[in-house]
Structure 1
Amino acid sequence: MRALNISEPWGLDALTIVEVEDPKPGPGEVLVRMRAVSLNYRDLLMVGGMYGRGPATGGPITPFSDGCGVVEAVGDGVTRLVVGDRVATMFFQGWISGPPTLEKAQTALGHPIPGAGRELAVFNQEGLSKVPEFLTDHEVATLPCAGLTAWRALFEDADLQPGDTVVLQGTGGVSVFGLQFAHAAGLRTLITSSSDEKLARAKALGADHLVNYRETPEWAKPVREATGGRGCDFIMEVGGGGTIEQSMRAIRIAGHIAMIGVVAGAGSGFNPASLIGNAAKLQGVFVGSRDMFEAMCRAIDLHRIRPVVDKVFPWTQARTAFEAMRAGEHFGKIVLAF
């Protein structure tokens, strides 16, 4: 079989396809033929040699945490799945339920566990989950990281009620999932983007308020205006240092900011006194457990929510897909098909 590999000196030029032996499942393990994987910002960092707590060393790494595939064989003692089941890979192979721990966080696909970027892969049965039948393989591949991160931020960590106002930053995978989930739950949504075209697409998905942050860099003002001066109840913060100051100005007293990404760079930071002054909650979010994933899938099934797949490339064109991600060309998710 073939697999994607990345190692020193890192970078897109170092991304290669290698031939390796077909894996075989051991006790408690499942052999999956991959059908699709989706790209996350984390994968771009990994290919660039940055992941986890600092620069990567050595290698090689098989990238990608998010995949959809079909079970081809099972090892002794497997009870969760049978041959022919269509499954998604869990981002954290060892986080089944309960709160996060260091041990659970050390079971992420891509690193330290070889990822889903290969034609055949063996996983522990506990690290896989069945998925809604109505979704395509490409759509399923978007769920394990982006979908689950948005779900956890909105419904596991925040205390939101129908009619509350949530702000989604940008139109990448997590934010678009957040828009779809929030709309289905009866939440009022405001989404930001630098592109009027992308804002129009967000409007079609149910966004109530639209802000072009290039035209309105002080986007906290329209958030305040949309909420009668009160501020929003929740912000999906994906920019990091480059956007946190505006988030602090937009959030209501005792509101919730879910810190998910740092795609806007370091920025100028913010004064911690702002957090104290409005008693807001700032919480880091890194994906979620298998239990959370399965709860999300039940909601997706009920509301017939279709993940937004913007671009699909053959998996052998992973470099082209990463270049599209780096350029910010996508609305929603980018997927590689096997």
Structure 2
Amino acid sequence: MTDYFATLSEFRALLKAQPDPDPQALAAAADHNMQLTKPPAALGQLEDLALWYRSWRAGPLTAIAAPQVIVFAGNHGVAARGVSAFPAEVTAQMVMNFEHGGAAINQIAGSVGAMLDVVSIDLDRPTDDFTQGPAMSEADFLTALKQGWDAVNPSADLLVVGEMGIANTTAAAALACAMLGGEAADWTGRGTGVDDAGLTLKTKVVAEGVVLHQGQGDGMETLRRLGGREIAAMAAAIARARHLRIPVILDGFICSAAALALVKTQDGALDHTVAGHLSAEGAHDKLLQALGKKPLLSLGLRLGEASGGALAIGILKAALACHAGMATFAQAGVTDA
């Protein structure tokens, strides 16, 4: 288990003391990029991605060799309010599917050469209903943070985190609404596919939770009160990656809500991250705008499971391959304008 934090105060202090990108590595990457056999900025966002990645990893030109995808699973007490089209037992059933290699994320991770880890967190003990009180005690919240922190493989050179948890779009909507403002309807979507009556109920539940907990602390405290164990674990894994200088690709709406809790606790906490995709969950675009993240893909996905973030690994691999593998003008004997 981790030795880096034993209390929430220590976790907040850790967020404040995280490393920054390496300015020398960034300068070297930018200089190399200008020598490649292409017009300036001809590869657009691929060039920006390569420079961003090298600023965190430093060292010589390299390819992504060991990407890690982690799917965290947790159950939510608020599911008992009927906010999902599926019952809570589906969480455990889907975890088994992940472990047997039968889910979409298994196929996507394999296609981009990523190691896949699945971390279940107390599935037999859902969080409390956040309309009645905090979703997690401080002890439970700290345990989930530690599990997320410990799940990151220090040998990974890229991280994508995702989730599985019935009712977690409800929790994510409540988190976004509490931290960014607006009405519950602005942030609440259909999630697993609830009908109009289900959406009305879900929106009501989100509003109840936000009214009960809004303004009672920073991003971490809001996450404890309105989030879930798997959402807390995602936040901690994103933070651990920063500690290890591992770049992160964010997944969809729920992952972005976990990331929001970090940046609402410590400015700049997401500098080592990019947004993998824009999901079909209605408020994801607004949430990404609040995070200042431009998605790499927009494919209408709303599955979760880290699926969109994992797909974007291929984009980042291509960016690094061009940056490291293209000839310079001098090497190719091409006249540099």
Q: Of the two structures, which has the highest relative contact order with CA contacts closer than 8 Å and spacing of 6 or more?
A: 2
Q: Using structure 2 for the length normalisation, give the TM-score.
A: 0.30
Report which of the two has the higher share of helix. Answer: 2
Q: Larger % of strand: which? A: 1
